[in-house]
Structure formats: structure tokens, C-alpha cells
Structure 1
Amino acid sequence: MISSNSLINKKEQRFRSLAFLTVIVIYLLILAGGIVRGTGSGMGCPDWPKCFGRWIPPTEISQLPVNYQKIYGAKLKGEVEFNATKTWIEYTNRLLGVLSGFLVFATLIASLSYLRKDKTIIWGSAAAFVLIGVNGWLGSRVVATELTQYVITLHLLLAILVVFALLFVWIRSNAHRLHIEDISVENNISRWLLGILLVLTIGQIVLGAQVRDVLDSVVKRIGYTQRDSWVDNLDWRFYIHRSFSLVILTLHVAIIYQLRKRNKTGVFVSLTNALMALVIAEIGTGVIMAYLGVPAIAQPIHLILAILIIGLQFSIGLLLTPKFILPRGINKASRLVKV
């Protein structure tokens, strides 16, 4: 006979697995959004939620009405040209968005297993569900406003908040497996530095989105054949974005040094190693774009690395702040894995 405790444990394990899977899919969604932007596929589907009036997008122009440009190009001033690749890139992004919504909803339902144990997990899951619902609506506004920059930026920032909400509930649901030592003054300093760095990194991402918008304008003005001249035609925002990456790198080195002084082994070591590797890779992709004509494949990689970095920053910050992730009733003796 299976005990009630065993059933509860299985439900909680199911929740943790589902929350982690949902985080992965959200990251894939952000990557897909980067691919959409990098390939110029944002208007691959000129209408929403359908694509060229169909639930399954066309694969060739013969599947569209002869006057499709007049029908779907009214709000685009006639500038709509069917491109099957771009259409399906954009539609795949939408499908991932729908899948993400279902997974976040499933995570919310699964979180009800914590109803008597830790309601904060339920509230965090509910926040993720509301945020992704709002972001789905905002995705429709991206199309309706013809890729207006501030709408795209808000769309990205909301996706980041969804990631934060899911990481919070996933880490908190694993709190019974963590052994978190008393936070010293050193770690308190690291926590403040990490908070500042998180804000600055998000600011760097927003500035990068502005640079991308300027790049789109440059491409429209001088054309794809002048790829080697794109960077030379960017404005001051690109140079600030490029130079500020050195500030971000320096702060990461300082924080990692602070954390490694006190934490010689455990999860912190793995997380800080991963964080530094991601920062170096992020700067590397930035160098590739600046000096190799902004290759399309580097753009979504540059974006997803940035989102992975702030996800790690946020997770480390949570581990440095036990009061946020340790529900009542969990004491030192019950923490099994040393952080």
C-alpha cells in the first residue's frame, strides 16, 4: 500500500521536474525570438493569431490569393512579401509560445501539491502564469504595431520575469535538499554586488535591443550587400554597449572572487564557473558580430547567453538569501546537500 507521504513526494517531484522543463522551454522560446529578430522574420506572419489567414501557414506562394499583398499589406503599406522560411520561423516561435503557456499552466496546477506545505510556491507559479499570459498578448501587439521597438523590448523583459518566477519556485521547491550556511558579511557584500550586477546586466540587454533596432535601420538604408559596413554605421549606443561589457566582466570577476573566497566546494563553485564561462562566451559572440559583419547565427546566441547569465545571477542571489527560498519548518538539520 502506498502511503500518503509517498504520493505527496511524487507530486512534488513531478512539480519540480515540470518547473525545470518549463524553464528550458522558455529559454528555447527566447532563443526562437532571437532567431526571428536575427533573420528579419518578425513579419513573416503579417496577421495574428493566424498566419496569412491560416492556422497552418502556407509553404509556397501558390497557396495564397493572387492579391495577398493587398489583403495583408494594408497596415504594412504594401510591403509584404511571402517568404516560406521567414513565415515558418515566425510561426514556430508562436507555437513555442503556446507550448510555454500550456506548460506554465500545468506547473501552476502541479504547484497545488504544496497547498498545505508552502503556499509561496503556488503564488510564484501563479505569477508566472499571469506574466506569460500578458506576454502572449504583448506578442500580438508586436505584430499589430509592426515591430515597434519598445513593444519588442517589453516582450523580452516580460519573458525574463517569467524565467525569474519559474526559477524561484523551482529553487524553493528544492529547498529541503539544500544546506545553506549562515550568510557572512562577505556573502552579504556579494549579494548586494550581485543585485547591482543583475540590474546592470538587464540594462545592458535593453541597450543591446536598442542597438539591434538601429542595426535594422542601417540594413534598410544601405542594404544586405554592405554587411561589412553595418557596424561602422551604428550610432553611440553600440559603442556604449560594447565598452560597458568590460564593466560587466569586471564586476563578474569581483563577485566570483568574493564567493569563491568562502565557498571552496559545492554548488556555488559550479555556478560561478558556469557564470564566468557564459560571460566570456557572451563577450566572444559580441566580438564576432562587431568584426565579422554581424553573422545572423551569432545574434540569437548572443541573446540567449545574456538570458542564461541573468538566470544564473538570479539563482545565485536566491541561494545567498535563504529567507526567500527556505519555507518555515526547514532547519539546518534537514538540509541534505551542501551549497
Structure 2
Amino acid sequence: MENKTFIRWAKISLITVYLVIIAGATVRMTGSGMGCPDWPKCFGYYIPPTQIEELLWEPYHDYEKGQVIIKDSKLKVANKDFTSNEMYQPSNWDEYTKHDYAEFNPYHTWVEYINRLCGALAGLACLILFVLSIISVAFFKASPKLIIWSGIVLALLVFNAWLGATVVYSVLNPIKITTHMIAALLNVAALIYLIYLAKDKHKHQIKYDKTFYIFTWVAMFFSLIQIGMGTQVRQFIDEQTNNGITDVALWLENPDMTFYVHRTFSFVIFFVNLYLFLRNKRLKLGNNKINWIMVLLLLEIFTGILMYYIHFPFGTQAAHLVLAAIMYGLQFAIILESKKNKPVI
């Protein structure tokens, strides 16, 4: 018997993780990753500042331990509670040692702050899910696997939060950003598997076809490769902006080989998924999710075309990544639902 409350909350948790991915994609798109240069607070505040004046040293002002200011283009952290005098006293402040980034942009700060709030919301949802798994096993005789996988989901989320901190401390190291994204996708997969475990398998399985099953694995693997290459293309764009190229029309004027492989590989992904779509329809396997994958894939290609030929209209970068993440999740769900059933005759 299905535990509908647990399944419902697992789906809510999955939505919150996707919200984190959306927020993270927006952070990447807007270049807001260093909007909060410390972690978990933001410039030493739980609610970040909105203007630079809040981060400048003031005489006769009450400061709390851990509060951050920008002084001489460096971050300074109050080492105790105190009220400032007429003159700045260096002994009251420690230099922030995680990195030397000390810029304030209120727009970037609040984009990054909202990203962290989404992460906190996902953490709360997954914590509640873990508690519900214990209740389900203890009182409703659910499978102990629910506790194990709910614990894995929660652990992955905590691990990814720590990765987020290391991304900030590294001043947006590209490898750490990519690892951060991969961890989020693992979280998605773990939650989808948890939902699958909690469901009645006989109600949700589709007809089994070995070829369809194998090619769905291939399609998902290709999607992961494509997402990885996409992060490398984004890294190339970041390098362009870091080199002072702010005109979006010039970002991909002379792209590296990764861009061309990424663009060409999209055709491979399209035809593999088209094959799955046609096979599902011809054999009447009953998997409606493949229809949604084709819709997402067309939107994915469309946003890619917009970015290249119309020079990155607002929102297309974030949409491009989020669509890929949703498609990956659907592919994994199809893999789970299309196994262990009677072969098509």
C-alpha cells in the first residue's frame, strides 16, 4: 500500500530541490555567485544589506562580533561586540582570510541570498521527509529502505550546502561549480528513487521492453555529458567577462572546441530521444513521460538557438540549464518505471 503523505512530501522536497537548481542557474546567469562573500551569513548578516553605506565603517556605531565591513578594499570582521570610537581601531577587526574578494553589488547580493533561502527551504523539506520516513516505518510498516534513502537525500543536501560554501571560498572555482551542480542532480535522482520506492510498483510500472530500457539509460548518460559540456561553455563565457568582454554579442564570437561539440552533440541527444518516443508509441509501452521529454528537448534546443543567434536574451541561460535538469529527472524516472515487467510480445 502506498503511503500517500510520504509520497506527497517527497514530491514537495523534489520541487524544492528544483527551486534550488533554478535559483543556482539564476545566480550563474547574473554573475551573482560572490554576492555574499561569506557563508552561511551574508556580509555577517542573516538578512543582507541593501546599500554600501551599511558596510562602511562608522564612528560611534554598535558592532556585533562577526559583523563584516569593507575597509580599504578588504573585508574586515568584528572580533567582538563593541561601539566604535571617533577613530577606526584595527585591533577590533580581523581580516577575512577565506579569500580577498571585497565588492558589494546589492543586486548580486540579493540574488545569491534568495538562492541560499531556497537551499534552506529544501533542507527543511528534506529533514521533514526524513522524520516522516521514520514514522512510516515505525507505525505503518513501510520498507526500512525509506529511512535509508531519506537519510541519503538529507546527507546529499547537507553535502551540497557545504560544496556551496567551498564555491564561495574559492571565488567561484569552475570545477567546484560543476561539482556543485552534479551533487544537485544526484539529489534529484535520490528523491525520484525514494518516490519510486514508496509507490505501489504494480500501479506505476509500464510495459517492459529491453531496447527501450537500455536506450533510456543511454539517453540519460548523454544528457549528463551534455550538461557537463554546458558548464564548460558557461566557464568559457565567464572567462570572456573576466577579460573585460561585456558585449554579449562577442562572448561566442570565437568559441573553443567544447562549444562546437556541445552544439553538435545536441543532435545526437535529439535523435536518441526521438527513437525512444517513436518506439514507445509503436509498441504502446504506455510511458507518457517520454512525450514531455520531447517537449523539453525542443525547448532546450530553442533556448540554445536564442542564446547563440540573439545573444543571450534574459532568462535563456537559466532556462537552458533548468530544462536539462528536469529532462534528466524524467529520464531517470522512466528508467525506474520501465524495468522488471513482462516483455512486449
TM-score category, normalised to shorter length: 0.7 to 0.9
- CA spacing shift, 1:17–1:142, aligned 2, 3 Å: same
- CA spacing shift, 1:234–1:120, aligned 2, 3 Å: same
- CA spacing shift, 1:182–1:176, aligned 2, 3 Å: closer
- CA spacing shift, 1:140–1:287, aligned 2, 3 Å: same
Q: Distance in 1 between matches of 2:20 and 2:206?
A: 35
Amino acid at match of 1:24: I
2:89 is aligned with 1:71: no
Higher helix share: 1
Larger gyration radius, structure 1 or structure 2 = 2
Kindly indicate whether the alpha-carbon contact (under 8 Å) linking 2:205 and 2:339 is maintained by their aligned counterparts in 1: no
- CA spacing shift, 1:94–1:77, aligned 2, 3 Å: closer
Paired residue for 1:227?
248
Q: Deviations over 1:162-194 (max 9, x none)?
A: 1111111112322256153662xxx11111111
> Which one of 18, 29, 33 corresponds to residue 24 of structure 2?
33
Q: Secondary structure at the match of 1:233?
A: coil
Q: Deviations over 1:269-293 (max 9, x none)?
A: x312111000000010011001111
Q: Deviations over 1:281-333 (max 9, x none)?
A: 0010011001111234111100000000000100011001248xxxxxxxx9x
Q: Distance in 2 between matches of 1:289 and 1:53?
A: 37
Q: Deviations over 1:63-111 (max 9, x none)?
A: 1124603126966986532111110000111111111111111111111
In structure 1, list runs of 5 or more residues that go unmatched: 1-7, 324-331, 333-339
CA-based RMSD of the aligned residues comes to 2.1
- CA spacing shift, 1:74–1:198, aligned 2, 3 Å: same
Matches within 5 A, 1:251-330: 251-263=272-284, 266=286, 268=287, 270-322=288-340
Identity among equivalent pairs (%): 35
Matches within 5 A, 1:1-339: 12-66=3-57, 68=70, 69-71=73-75, 79-112=101-134, 113-115=136-138, 116-175=141-200, 178=203, 180=205, 183=208, 187-224=209-246, 226-263=247-284, 266=286, 268=287, 270-322=288-340
Kindly indicate whether the alpha-carbon contact (under 8 Å) linking 2:266 and 2:301 is maintained by their aligned counterparts in 1: yes
- CA spacing shift, 1:180–1:45, aligned 2, 3 Å: closer
Q: Distance in 1 between matches of 2:97 and 2:22?
A: 28
- CA spacing shift, 1:179–1:78, aligned 2, 3 Å: closer
Indicate the larger mover: 66-75 or 24-33: 66-75
Kindly indicate whether the alpha-carbon contact (under 8 Å) linking 1:194 and 1:313 is maintained by their aligned counterparts in 2: yes
Kindly indicate whether the alpha-carbon contact (under 8 Å) linking 1:218 and 1:233 is maintained by their aligned counterparts in 2: no
Amino acid at match of 1:230: W
Indicate the larger mover: 50-59 or 29-38: 50-59
How many residue pairs get matched?
A: 308
Amino acid at match of 2:16: V
Q: Secondary structure at the match of 1:232?
A: coil
Indicate the larger mover: 197-206 or 77-86: 77-86
